Amino acid sequence: MAAGTHEVEHHTSLGVDNRKLLMWIFLASECLFFGTLISTYLIFKGQSLVGPYPDDILDIPLTSLSTFVLLMSSLTMVLAVYGAQHGRLGMMKAMLFATILLGVGFLGFQVYEFRHFAHVGLNLGTNQFGASFFVLTGFHGLHVGIGVAYLISLLFGSMRRSGLGKDRALWVDTAGLYWHFVDIVWIVVFTVVYLIPS
């Protein structure tokens, strides 16, 4: 066989590309990580001896709006994957850009909330609520930021002459797995922190 005709197979015995399987394994480990953070928050919920307390400062309407923004980013991510899988590169690029904007919008809401909480006297050292809240939501925000950087790299990669190559759909689909995971985690965090009373 000529050297140029041999292609490297990336499929596992399960029929899944090993790069996609690696993302699934990574996300499984992230489930354990966030499960630990959420459990810690629940253990310390209602244990604060000094204020401010959650009922005093949580702005549920504002956070509901930021949650809506993040959930809409899942829709645009689905459309980006669809565009990549069906060769509609303009749609893929536009939807990646929209997802990036929505992700940045969500982070903007989070920065505003953190600044407001600091202004009213809540920080990592104030009480149990502050410590567990900032660690949980802060790490989620970090994951959103990493996801935004990941999508920006794909968008810039798609604008090169060679684009994302023949594995375009796989790269965008794998990024979509990460992005949807971040959105699902936020639904759990939003429910536990904002909707379930102390």
User: Which positions ≥6 away from 131 have C-beta within 8 Å?
Assistant: 44, 124, 125
The pLDDT of residue 3? 44
Q: Find out whether 110 and 141 touch, Cβ atoms under 8 Å.
A: yes
98 and 76 in contact (C-beta within 8 Å)?
Answer: yes
For the segment 104-120, the average pLDDT, to the nearest whole number, is: 95
Cα→Cα distances 142→38, 110, 152, 190, 198, Å: 16, 11, 15, 16, 26
pTM: 0.87
User: What would the two tokens of residue 185 be?
Assistant: 């985690």
**How many C-beta atoms lie closer than 10 Å to residue 127's C-beta?**
20
pLDDT of residue 116: 94
pLDDT of residue 8 exceeding 50, the answer is: no
**Domains annotated on the chain, with CATH:** 16-44+69-195 (1.20.120.80)
Q: Calculate the average pLDDT of the chain.
A: 88
pLDDT digits (tens, 9 = 90+) for 127-174: 888 899 999 999 999 999 999 999 999 998 888 766 666 777 898 999
**Residue 17 three-state SS:** strand
